Amino acid sequence: MRWPIMCAGLFGASVLVLAQPLFTADDLDDSMKGVGRQFELVNWAVSAGDYEGAKVRVTRAREQLSATISFWRNSERADAVTMVRAATRRFDELDGVLSVLTIDADAVAAAVGDVRAACEACHSVYREHDPATDTYRLKSGVLP
């Protein structure tokens, strides 16, 4: 009786694994563009003093960024995984300075700068800027 139950369990688990979509380079591009849009809105909200609005955008940007880690793992790029984790921590820190009762504008500005620096660190290795469209894309030749 144990054998059929074990087989059914293994079959069910394998179906779940196979049903998971692969995070592609196109998905990475879409996510990164989403993170960029959200971060632009963070900057706009911070400059307008709308810290609650900025907090919402930080959360969304962090969600979109976090999803990209599977792409980098599947691509066997440990350095990129480390950079995603660092940028995610910077978003968490920005969220923290936006979550206090009395907002310190200087601390928010510094945290925004830290997020920007974390993004630029990864972009310098893995993304290239298209000046014609003012967008970024995955550099050719960075993946095996």
Question: Is 47 within the bounds of a domain?
Answer: yes
Rounded CA gap, 59 and 121, in Å?
A: 21
Please check whether residue 12 lies inside any domain of the structure: no
Tokens 């940028």, located at residue: 87
Kindly state whether residue 144 falls inside one of the protein's structural domains: no
pLDDT recorded at residue 1: 57
Does this model's pTM top 0.85? My answer is no
Residues 101-144: pLDDT tens digits? 999 999 999 999 999 999 999 999 999 988 898 888 889 888 87
Residue 78 resides in a domain: yes
Whether residue 65 has pLDDT greater than 60:
yes
Residue 63 falls within a domain, yes or no? yes
Place of tokens 């480390």: 82
Classify residue 31: in a domain, yes or no.
yes
CA atoms of 60 and 56, how far apart (whole Å): 6
Number of domains the chain contains: 1
**Mind listing the pLDDT tens digit for each residue in 23-54?**
898 999 999 999 999 999 999 999 999 999 99
CATH assignment of the domain containing 95: 1.20.120.10
DSSP label of 20: S
Give the range of the structural domain holding residue 82, as residue numbers without chain letter.
22-138
Identify the sign of the CA torsion 29, 35, 41, 44: negative
Q: Would you state the structure tokens that stand for residue 70, as one six-digit string? A: 């599977």
